């Protein structure tokens, strides 16, 4: 599970998939793009006030597996609200413009997105999905970008 700062708070992404599907590789790339670790491998989820939260089990807190390196320490948040579930999928199984999909965790329906985790843009797609939660595919394309503005041409 990862989190990224947005809208004045940490927003969690629960990444799921079978062993070897690319979860930790996706997480490592996302960490390089401003996400923070919450939990790797196993996540304890619970509901409170109609919202879903997640954290690492104590013996695994602040650890992430990097295939080829082993288990390494990584600064982590103690817990975070889960706002999005990302399913690691085969490249051919990812739809270009998917219908809204939800996954229930601890009794809370969460938006769910299927991504091919090896795609270089997968971390950016997770961030964009959080930016446009509930917008639907058409509004997401039309909504203004809420990140940093693009650099002006000719600006130094």
Q: Does 155 fall in a domain? A: no
pLDDT, residue 134, reads: 55
**Tens digits of residue pLDDT in 105-121:** 999 999 999 999 999 99
| CATH code at position 29 | 3.40.50.300
**Full-model pTM:** 0.82
Q: Which domain holds residue 63?
A: 2-133
Q: Does 108 fall in a domain? A: yes
Average pLDDT, the chain: 86
Q: Does 145 fall in a domain? A: no
Q: Does 25 fall in a domain? A: yes
Q: Which candidate, 103, 63, 59, 108, places its Cα nearest to that of 81?
A: 108
Q: Where are the beta strands (DSSP E) in the chain?
A: 2-6, 9-16, 36-37, 44-48, 51-55, 63-66, 70-73, 80-88, 102-105, 108-115
**Tens digits of residue pLDDT in 49-80:** 999 999 999 999 999 998 889 999 999 999 99
pLDDT, residue 147, reads: 40
Q: Does 138 fall in a domain? A: no
More confident position, 14 or 150:
14
Q: Which candidate, 84, 97, 88, places its Cα nearest to that of 127?
A: 84
Q: Is the pLDDT of residue 39 over 50?
A: yes
Q: Does 18 fall in a domain? A: yes
- Enter the tokens of residue 11: 């927003």
Q: Does 92 fall in a domain? A: yes
Q: Does 20 fall in a domain? A: yes
Give the count of domains, the chain.
1
Question: Could you tell me where the DSSP H helices lie in 63-135?
Answer: 122-131
């Amino acid at each position: 599970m990862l989190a990224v700062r947005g809208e004045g708070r940490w927003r969690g992404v629960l990444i799921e998939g079978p062993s070897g599907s690319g979860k930790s590789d996706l997480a490592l790339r996302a960490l390089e793009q401003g996400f923070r670790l919450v939990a790797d491998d196993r996540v304890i989820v619970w509901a409170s006030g109609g919202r879903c939260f997640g954290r690492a089990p104590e013996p695994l807190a602040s650890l992430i597996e990097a295939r080829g390196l082993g288990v390494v320490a990584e600064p982590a948040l103690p817990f975070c609200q889960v706002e999005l579930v990302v399913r690691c999928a085969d490249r051919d199984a990812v739809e270009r413009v998917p219908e809204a999909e939800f996954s229930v965790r601890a009794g809370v329906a969460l938006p769910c997105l299927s991504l091919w985790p090896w795609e270089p843009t997968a971390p950016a797609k997770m961030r964009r999905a959080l930016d446009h939660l509930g917008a639907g595919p058409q509004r997401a394309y039309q909504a203004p970008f809420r990140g940093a503005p693009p650099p002006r041409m000719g600006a130094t």
